[in-house]
Homo-oligomer: A and B are copies of this chain.
Amino acid sequence: VGIPTPRHGSKCDGAGFDAAQAASSVERGDALGPALSSLDAIRRLGSPSIEACVLVETTPLDIQSGEPAISHVRAAFAAGMHVITANKGPAAFAYRALAAEARRAGVSFLFEGAVMDGVPVFNLVRETLPAVTIRGFRGVVNSTTNHILSALERGESFASALARMQADGVAEADPSLDIDGWDAAAKTAALANVLLDADLTPQRVDREGLTAASGARARSAIAAGRRLKLVATATCHADGHDPLAILDDQANALELDTWPMGRIVITERDGGLEKTAYALVSDLVTVARRIRARR
A residues at B contact (CB < 8 Å): 53-54, 56, 58, 82, 84, 86, 108, 110-113, 115-121, 123-125, 127-129, 132-143, 146-147, 150, 170, 191, 195, 227, 229, 232, 235, 244, 246-272, 274-284, 286-287, 290-291, 293
Contacts and interface: CB of A to CB of B under 8 A. Distances in A.
27 contacts: A84-B280, A86-B276, A110-B283, A112-B282, A112-B283, A113-B276, A113-B280, A117-B275, A118-B278, A123-B127, A123-B282, A132-B258, A132-B261, A135-B257, A135-B258, A142-B252, A143-B251, A143-B271, A146-B251, A246-B265, A255-B267, A255-B269, A261-B275, A264-B269, A265-B266, A265-B269, A266-B266
Contacts of A120: 124, 128-129, 266, 282
A139 B266 CA distance: 9
Contacts of A118: 275-282
A132 to B, nearest CB: 5
A276 B195 CA distance: 20
- A contact patch SS: mixed
A127 B129 contact: no
B254 A263 contact: no
Contact of A264 (B56, B123, B257, B266): B266
Contacts of A108: 286-287, 290
Contact of A137 (B129, B136, B246, B254): B254
Given A282-B123, A290-B108, A137 B268 contact: no
Contacts of A84: 280, 283-284, 287
A12 to B, nearest CB: 19
Of listed A133, A146, A244, residue having the most chain B CB within 10 A = A146
Contacts of A132: 258-261
